[in-house]
Amino acid sequence: MQLRALAPGLLLALACVATASVVVGATPVSLAQLGHSLQVLLAHADPTGWSMTDRIVLDLRMPRTLLAVLVGAGLALVGALLQTTTRNELSDPFLFGLSSGSAAGAVAVITLSGELASAMGIWALPLAAFAGGMTSAAVVLLLLRRFRSHAPEQMILAGLSVSFLFTALTYYFIFLGDQRAAQSVLHWTMGGLGAARWDSLFVPLAGLLALAVFAWRRLPALDAMLAGENTAHSLGIDPQRLRVQVFIACAFATACFVAVSGVIGFVGLMVPHLARRLAGALHRGVLLLSALMGATLLLLSDLLSRTVLAPQELPVGIVTAGVGALFVMRNLFVHAE
């Protein structure tokens, strides 16, 4: 399909789902009330004069909606870039230990360093998650230095080993730590958007912007990789160096996302497949559609997680994992036929 025909439709769908994400909830908000709250925000009105509805919209639901857009778009871009450079359709942040490293960092602070977390305030867990994600990425790169060539298979094996290692560390921290911290641990291991705040949105925004700028500057090289490594070499591109650059960019971005939202799986695995079916192979279209579809998917998943068992809230990672499992099973049945 033509990208010019698809992108506006997906953008409109994203706007509609984002609106639904703000107005639907335990306390319903009408479109008129939403419009009034937006006017209050644009007028920079004194927060002490806000109504209860204004506070629900502006302090709770809008930051959560924006966080879902940033994280969903970012994870989809990470998946698309990793799948291209490793030539593996199963590549996503989980496969390379990036998500598990971030989760291990946050869980370590929750279960083992309660006083330290209290001293550092609200930034303790995001900083620990970011540090864990970057540490896991550094371990993967150290493992790759043992090989003369950074072949896709070697990178995947290194990532898998690091993923298992940090997952084991996470369980170890849970076993040793304070069992009363189970609710916080659940957020970081299964994902959630309930901790969204205006002052924390710059973290995933920084990750998304850095990844988008990197991908835009490397579009020709990414497209050349589609023709194979020999062709890429003939065009003056070093596939090994490109893989390492992509991995570092994806590691930084994933750490930024997980630092605020916890571990949310399957978005980076599913969305690039759907985007390629619609936009073709070239990355200009794939990356744009991946970002739009990833944001929409995570918004829909979050909306479902808030409403399916209302007033209780499911971790959004449960919803994305369920949708992802159905997606994989459907593809298996299609290929079997």
Amino acid 118: pLDDT: 59
Predicted confidence at residue 337, as pLDDT, reads 55
pLDDT at 117 over 60: no
Q: Is residue 335 pLDDT above 60, yes or no? A: no
C-alpha to C-alpha distance for 178 and 279, rounded to whole angstroms: 48
For range 92-103, the mean pLDDT? 85
pLDDT digits (tens, 9 = 90+) for 261-288: 988 988 998 999 899 988 888 899 999 9
Per-residue pLDDT, 107: 85
How many residues are given for the chain?
Answer: 337
Which tokens hold the place of 291? 């970002």
The radius of gyration of the chain's CA atoms, rounded to the nearest angstrom, is 20
Q: Which residues contact 325 (CB under 8 A, 6 or more apart)?
A: 266
In angstroms, how far is CA 13 from the centroid of its own chain? Answer: 20
The DSSP call for residue 177 is S
Q: In the chain, what are the helix, strand and coil shares in percent, each to the nearest 5?
A: 80, 0, 20
Query: Tens of pLDDT along 293-309?
Result: 999 999 999 999 998 88
For 171, the token pair is 């369980």
Q: What mean pLDDT, rounded, does the chain reach? A: 86
- Do 136 and 67 touch, CB atoms closer than 8 A? no
> Does residue 216 have a pLDDT over 90?
yes
Encode 215-235: b = buried (16+ Cβ within 10 Å), e = exposed: beebeebbbbbeeebeebeee
Instruction: Write the CA distances from 327 to 267, 273, 287, integer angstroms.
Output: 11, 10, 20
Give the residue extent of every domain in the chain. Answer: 65-336
In the prediction, which pLDDT does 313 show? 84
Instruction: Name the range with the highest mean pLDDT among 34-38, 142-146, 177-181, 187-191.
Output: 34-38
Cβ atoms < 10 Å from Cβ of 211: 25
Q: Which band of pLDDT confidence, cut at 50, 70 and 90, is reported for residue 254?
A: very high
Residue whose C-alpha is closest to residue 285's, from 7, 15, 74: 7
Rounded distance between C-alpha atoms, residue 187 and residue 327, angstroms: 24
Question: What pLDDT, in 10s, does the model give residues 223-239?
Answer: 998 888 888 888 888 88
**Beta-carbon-side half-sphere exposure of residue 112 (alpha carbons within 13 Å):** 15
For residue 46, pLDDT over 90 is answered with no
Class (C level, CATH) for 65-336: mainly alpha
Tokens of 232: 């890429």
pLDDT at 112 over 70: yes
What are the tokens at 80? Answer: 């698309």
pLDDT band at 209 (very low <50, low <70, confident <90, very high): very high
Quote the CA–CA distance of 200 and 205 in Å, as a whole number.
9
231 or 167, which is more confident? 167
Q: How far apart are CA 79 and CA 287, in angstroms?
A: 10
First to last CA, the chain: 25
Percent of the chain predicted with pLDDT > 70: 91
Handedness of CA 257, 263, 269, 271 (dihedral sign): negative
Instruction: Please identify which residue in the block is written with the tokens 């698809």.
Output: 6
Res 181 pLDDT > 80: no
Residue 28: closest CA among 58, 53, 3: 53
Higher-pLDDT residue of 90 and 71 is 71
Q: For residues 233 and 229, give the distance between their C-alpha atoms in angstroms, rounded to a whole number.
A: 6
